[in-house]
Structure 1
Amino acid sequence: MSHKFILTFLLVFTFGCISAQNAPILIKGKVLESNNNLPIEYATISILNKNSNQPLTGTISGQDGTFQLKTNETNFLIEVSFMGFKSKTISEFEIIKNTIDLNTIILSEDSQALDEIVVRAEKSQTEFKLDKRVFNVGLDLSSTGASSLEVLNSIPSVNVNIEGEISLRGSQGVQILINGKPSVLASADGNALGSITADMIEQVEVITNPSAKYDAEGTSGIINIIIKKSEKRGINGSATLNFGVPNSNSFGLSVNKRTEKFNLFSQLGFGIRTFPDERKSINQDLINNTTIRSIGESEFDEKFANILIGTDYHINDRNVITLSGSYAYEFEDQYSNTNFTETDASNATTNSWIRDEVTEADNPKLRYELQYKKNFKRHEDQNLLFSALGSSFRKDQFSDFENTVIMGDDDDFQQKTRTDYKLEDYTFKLDYTHPFLEKYTIETGSQYVINSVSNDFAVSNLENGIWVNNPDLTNVFDFDQKVLGIYTTAAYEGDIWGLKLGLRFEHTDLSTLLETTNESNGNNYSNLFPSIHSSYKISDNFSIQAGYSKRIKRPGLRELNPFSNIRNNFNISTGNPDLQPEYTDSYEITSIHKIGKASLNFSLYNRYTIDVVDRISTFENNVSTSRPENVGTNSTTGFEANGKYAPTDWFSFNGDFNINYFTRKGVFEATNFDFKGNQWSSSLTTKFKLPSQFDLEISGNYNSKFKTLQNDISENYFADFGLRKKILKGKVILNLSIRDVFATRINETITSQSDFYLFNSRQRGRFVTFGISYGFGKGEAMQFSGQRR
């Protein structure tokens, strides 16, 4: 019995020792930052192999900076790290009762790493993909306090005129998307794109030849504006304060909280902006030799406030639901004063009067979105995405006009207008991406877009002290459009060459109604839109891309609505309810070069458009009336070159040059409009890094004169200036921006016909803005300094 007892005791003792040796080791501690001894949330604690430094396991710190994890390893190191701080490696520690208590671990800021983060965020970079160019928007100095329109105007191939009209390679048939979807903010009818500020933009995608995956709308291409939404863990955010002359005063606050399951994001902003305007016009009757000249100035004041709240809920590693909503309210005041003079054939003044306008408007905007994304285990790029987006915009506007006679036989008179404008948009999208065999990808999906607009416009004249409605200028115009799209694409992308084929089907159901006169128009049509894109990599520094797509440009509300503003009764612009869509076949080939510190890109392109929409002006009783019409075809062949060169660390410049030749053919009401022409544009931006952390940016833009069916558009040129100073280790950034430094950005249009001559000029002037930005968070947020609102 004694032998059995001793044997049993030895077995139990040995097993206990082995069990004790194999018991996991508990590692615990707390991570603090050195400046204020505050806890660091989401610091990374890694267990590394002592010989190979390969990671074995790890964890992250909690909200109070504490952590704990277990390991069965015996030969290891402990590394504690967090972005923007110097990592700490611990190789000497005591194991007491299978526990390593590291107590408090202090991490100090890595100022060099923080500067690198800020610098990376400041640089605007361009990426070339198979069917688009992606511009990563950095902290371009001249964009301080600017809207998205100024950002777009700084991007190669894109031009924004003083009216806010966007063109791509000289063509205005551009589809604007927000985060890949149509939005009330991008609607020309709402005129709200300017409410997106530069510091809210992450990327701008320029798609001159979109694949079938994208909406076929836009004959010259698509511009997709990607709004920032932080995914950084912990609390991150920034505050921005801007002051400007004329008024560009605003405050913005952005806060983001990222946890294991939720990403909460919010933006708040309010301010006031002023847009001055100087206008000149000449209406000359060449038959009767009479002329009406006008010169005036106006001031448009906009007070605004907006709030955005949203969250990403990570159900698990592969399923995310996003819910967001935003509300904005704008209050507009506009005043204009215009002097009119009428002269006869001997240039003697026969009539002279002043026309004053006072306008007030309220613009509430609402936007809401639900999105669900599912990633699949089989492949990291396999995903299913569903989104439902709704938005509404309303404008309640009242205008008072008063004519005061200075000279002549006419009487003083007053007019007033009322506008009740309502817009509702709904977009439903379903997209599925399926990669296979490593280099192949199939995409398929559908989209259904509903646009509904009602524009109630009334004009009244004061007659004998009584306001009398003018039935010729009063009506309710309803616009309803539904577009269903279904697409599929197949792509091969190898190391040397790639090919992407696509086909999109779209059915459009459009109806318009003038309620007062009960005039209705309907248009239903279906189209196929093929696309093909290819790329070939000749070497690491030289590759070629080519593409083809078919596009459509559907007429919008402003082009269809037969009523318009009566600010100037002698220059009237109306719509055409019978307008048909344009169709364009677009071809393009691009070469991409990297030569040392320079990158260069050259493109040849051709666009052939049928049923081209152009404005035709008619003239009667000194009144010019322009109306859009479908007139013939247009063939445009162009060349574009853009590049960037950074010869030193403190100096770089990038530029863009675009020229195209076009041939217009068309007949309208027995008048032949065949002609040929060309236009070109160029831009150059230089950046300097100066001592004491000052940055300087100077840019110049030039747009040549060109012809349309009846008009000659004059040349246009302007320069922008920006200066930045970083303080407090880059956490605070001071910005000075001057747009249109020399006040040379003037838009002039001349219409010269056999029986009449028209001249119109408009200028906004110089804008000076000073901004202060502060980024806060635990290190990671520094890359958002000065960018987010």
Structure 2
Amino acid sequence: MKFYFITAIFVFFLGMLSPICAQNTLKKITGKVMEATNKQPIEYATIALIQNTTSTPITGTISDSNGHFAIETNATDFYIEVSFMGYASQLIKELQLNKTKIDLGVITLSEDLNALGEVLIRAEKSQTEFKLDKRVFIVGSDISSTGASSLEVLNSVPSVNVSIEGEISLRGSQGVQILINGKPSVLASADGNALGTITADMIERIEVITNPSAKYNASGTAGIINIVIKSSEKRGLNGSASLNAGVPNSNSFGLSLNKRTEKFNLFTQLGFGKRTFKTKRKSINKDFVNDSTITNNERSTFNEKFGSVLLGTDFHINERNVLTLSGTYAFEIEDQLAKSYFDKVYDETTLTDSWLRQDNTEATNPKIRYELQYKKDFKRHEDQDLLFSALGNSFAKDQKSIYTNTSSFGDEPNSLQETRTDYKLEDFTFKLDYTHPFLEKYTLETGSQYDINNVSNDFEVRDFINDAWISNPDLTNVFNFDQKVFALYSTMAYEDAIWGLKLGLRLENTNLTTELKTTNELNEKSYANFFPSVHTSYNINENFSLQLGYSKRINRPGLRQLNPFNNIRNNYSISRGNPDLQPEYTDSYELTSIHKLEKASLNFSLYNRYTTDVVENIINFENSVSTSQPENIGTNNTVGFEFNSKYTFAKWFTLTSDFNINYFNRKGEFDTQTFDFKGNRWTTSLTSKFKLPQEFDLELSGNYNSKFASVQGEISENFFADMGLRKKILKGKFIMSLSVRDVFATRVDEQMVSQPTYYTSNRSQRGRFVVFGVSYAFGKGEAMEFSGQR
């Protein structure tokens, strides 16, 4: 690359030094350079004027970002050579030199496979480095030169799997936080395919963190993936447009664009569509005291229309200062129709009542997200930096539901009910991070974070009585939720080529206020906690490493767990929150061995998690009505083993597997009842990927979750399989894809509670989803599907 760049500069300056006062007529030569295959412009192509008799350069220039060029010359005996790295040169010898203007039109260059192969042989290979608390995947030119997208690069990282639909999982879990250059970003949002606008050769490295240190939020997460972008990479215009259609109804259109210039990186995304979700539910309530059983079979159809737009820019103030501004607006329109058929049976043989309960719900949901971020790099050290970020998020829901009870048999009365929900949420996060390396092997990290979460939920239930709507005071209230978390952290690390140690401490102070405004019930909590972390690693050799980590985590109860409003869709199966709920605390220990083989990566982990104030849903059963409410129930001690691997049998076949088994010991008491029990659960998944002839990619995956004991009953086993097929055209510029979720319609969620006086069962199923999509890429990246996920 340096050779071609120096050549371009040489011929350019040669042209600058050519005689200005020549006696011959000045000629202006123009044209445009494009790729022969996909008709994309070539930037930095070299256009040289060569003298016929001596074959020496006379003058020259390079093409701009649109492939255009222009040269002025007095020469009379020359030909033109157009060249670019990896492409066969074009010689233009037939020129009408008696003209003052010569338009060469469009000059197309074809790839020179032999020359490209020579470049790749000398190219830097991708590699994985083991750090103290993370693994770092360095993106070499063996991947970046393929024109792959960031999602395909992620698929090459050990422990990371990306499905054909773009879903990212880490060690088999999808609860992954994606960061761009160490910070949250709308580009990393799961709502669309903005990551698809980042191409492989924009990426410097990818960092995988499975047990986060004190630098990160103490609230639980399955792990962190940080994508570090090259600060000097300027790739012009990249983007893609996608169109999806599916059964049940899943139609969407997405457009993503990313324009990189000397000072700016401009990105935008537009998406809109319509989706349908159909669900089957079945619940059984058996009352052994009254010898009665109530069965409910529900069929619901949820329709959603949505639209969203994202705008943002990275402004490179200079080579060491970057300012990011971005914003997203989305709007959703929802409607739902649910029909629930109830039967009440006495003595398991006698039908006493049958009735139909219908639910008609309509809602609108506007969403706004915005961010301001500033990053400063220091000349003293390449890893020394200062980062400030401010993110805001607002969401509103205006929802109305009408419930109609129609009796078909027995004494169950006809009734009419309606609910109104006015919901508003605002989140703000302010973050300041500073990293300071010193004495070659030491690094200090320090910073702070302030999170604000405000929610207001105005909920009303009205009954139609005597031809009038009457508000139900027992089910109507305004619930306000106000939570503020302020954090300070510091970490100190020592790391050499073989061994390293990282110590961290995080302080988080939480202020939480919940209020039931109508009944004037106020609940205030304030608590401060220290969250230490310790990480160490030992590299036995370049292919085998050990990592040991400890961190203390917190799981704060969310709005749904705190909000005491009843769910009245099913009056015999009610769920509500608990304003008195306390947070869970977990001590997490993990020992991991990482093996790199020629064609495989293997990870073995032993872990222990000890959790106090465990939150469990406790059911209270009375008069055939089950009411579920979360409570803090004792402790949970979990010991587990995890194995995940990625094995490349051949260039056309890769197999990824995840296996996790744990044994838990539960101890606790609530309301004079003891909840001591032991059990185990295990999960496994297997994903096979095939590169078939004619640019076809096939992906098959299977997932199994075992049954396991819960506080009052058990959770049933769960199995499902997914499939994806993708066809690339024009070297990935055009993609057709077909995905099938839950191929055999076996994914069923079921939980049962069995007690001496009652039995309950709740079962739900979504069924099979089939989606066909087409997408086309702009620029030099690869087309990516717009998933249109919720």
Deviation at 1:649, TM superposition (A): 1.4
The residue type paired with residue 765 of structure 1 is G
Match of 2:140 in 1: none
SS in 2 for 1:604: strand
After superposition, the Cα gap between the structure-2 partners of 1:427 and 1:240, relative to the gap in structure 1 and judged at 3 Å, is: same
Residue 108 (structure 1) aligns with: 109
* Contact in 1 for aligned 2:62/2:69 (Cα 8 Å): no
Task: Note the C-alpha offset of 1:378.
Answer: 1.5
Distance 1:590 1:232, change over 3 A: same
Quote the offset at 1:25 in angstroms: 3.5
Partner of 2:151: 137
Counting only pairs closer than 5 Å after superposition, residues 262-281 of structure 1 correspond to structure 2 as: 262-281=264-283
Task: Please point out which of 497, 512, 515 is paired with 2:514.
Answer: 512
Residue 171 of structure 2, aligned match among 133, 145, 156 = 156
Matches within 5 A, 1:548-563: 548-563=550-565
Cα drift, residue 772 of structure 1: 0.4
Q: Give the corresponding residue for 1:593.
A: 595
CA contact (8 A) 1:551 1:585 kept: yes
Q: Secondary structure at the match of 2:474?
A: helix
Q: Tell me how far apart the structure 1 counterparts of residues 737 and 435 of structure 2 sit (CA, whole Å).
A: 42
Q: What is the distance in 2 between the residues matched to 1:296 and 1:376?
A: 61
User: How many angstroms apart in 2 are the aligned matches of 1:349 and 1:133?
Assistant: 62
Q: 2:324 maps to which residue?
A: 322
Residues 362-397 of structure 1, C-alpha deviations (whole Å, 9 max, x = no match):
000001111111111112221111111111000111
The unaligned stretches of length 5 or more in structure 2 are: 1-11, 18-28, 49-60, 73-80, 94-101, 120-125, 138-149, 156-160, 199-204
Counterpart mapping for 1:172-571 below 5 A: 195-196=191-192, 207-218=209-220, 221-222=222-223, 232-571=234-573
Alpha-carbon distance between aligned partners in 1 of 2:116 and 2:664, rounded to the nearest angstrom: 48
Distance 1:449 1:184, change over 3 A: farther
Contact 2:182 2:226 in 1 (8 A): yes
Report the alpha carbon displacement of residue 521 of structure 1 after superposing the two structures with TM.
0.4
- Asked whether the equivalents of residues 652 and 690 of structure 2 are also in contact (C-alpha less than 8 Å), the reply is yes
* 2:650 maps to 1:648: yes
Letter of the structure 2 residue corresponding to residue 138 of structure 1 = E
In 1, Cα distance between equivalents of 2:333 and 2:229: 26
Secondary structure of 2:561's aligned partner: helix
Percent of pairs identical after alignment?
59
CA distance in 2, matches of 1:196, 1:538: 41
Partner AA of 2:366 in structure 1: P
Counterpart for residue 32 of structure 1? 33
TM-score, scaled to structure 2: 0.82
Structure 1 distance, partners of 2:114, 2:267, is 26
Q: Alpha-carbon deviation of 1:728? A: 2.9
**Residue from 603, 606, 623 that aligns with 1:604:** 606
- Structure 2: distance between partners of 1:302 and 1:204: 35
Shift of 1:199: 6.4
Q: CA deviation at 1:223?
A: 5.1
Report the CA distance between 1:158 and its aligned residue.
1.2
Are 1:65 and 2:68 counterparts? yes
1:669 maps to which residue? 671
Measured after TM superposition, the shift of residue 670 of structure 1 is: 1.2
Q: What's the CA shift for 1:717?
A: 0.4
CA distance in 2: counterparts of 1:37 and 1:410, whole angstroms: 69
Q: Name the amino acid aligned to 2:674.
A: N
Q: Per-residue deviation at 1:114? A: 14
Q: 1:406 to 1:605 in 2, by over 3 A?
A: same
AA of the residue aligned to 1:137: L
- CA distance in 2 between counterparts of 1:626 and 1:468 reads 26
On the 8 A contact 2:173/2:222 being kept in 1, the answer is: no
The C-alpha deviation readout for 1:563-605, integer Å capped at 9, x for no partner, is 1421111111111101111111100010011233121110000
Query: What is the CA distance between 1:155 and its match in structure 2?
Result: 4.2
1:258 deviates by 1.4
- 1:182-211 alpha-carbon deviations (Å, 9 max, x no partner): 89999xxxxxx8744596597998744210
Distance (whole Å) between structure 2 residues aligned to residue 240 and residue 391 of structure 1: 26
The TM-score normalised by the length of structure 1 is 0.82
Partner of 1:701: 703
1:756 aligns with 2:770: no
What's the counterpart of residue 622 of structure 1? 624
Hey, what's the Cα distance between the residues in 1 that align with 2:564 and 2:694?
Answer: 58
Q: Distance in 2 between matches of 1:378 and 1:646?
A: 41
2: CA distance, partners of 1:177 / 1:472: 45
The aligned residue for residue 20 of structure 2 is none
Closer/same/farther in 2, CA of residues 129 and 572 from structure 1, 3 Å limit? farther
For residues 175 and 127 of structure 1, the distance between their equivalents in structure 2, rounded to whole angstroms, comes to 21
User: Structure 1 CA distance, aligned partners of 2:210 and 2:732?
Assistant: 37
How far 1:548 sits from its partner (Å)?
0.3
State how far apart, in whole Å, the 2-side matches of 1:194 and 1:302 are.
Answer: 18
Question: Gaps spanning 5+ residues in structure 1: where?
Answer: 1-22, 48-57, 70-77, 93-100, 118-123, 160-165, 167-173, 187-192
Structure 1: how far apart are the matches of 2:506 and 2:683? 33
Contact kept? 1:550, 1:585, Cα under 8 Å: yes
Per-residue deviation, residues 300-334 of structure 1 (Å, max 9, x unmatched):
11110000001111111111111101100011111
How many positions carry a matched residue from both structures? Answer: 705
In structure 2, distance between residues paired with 1:626 and 1:127: 48
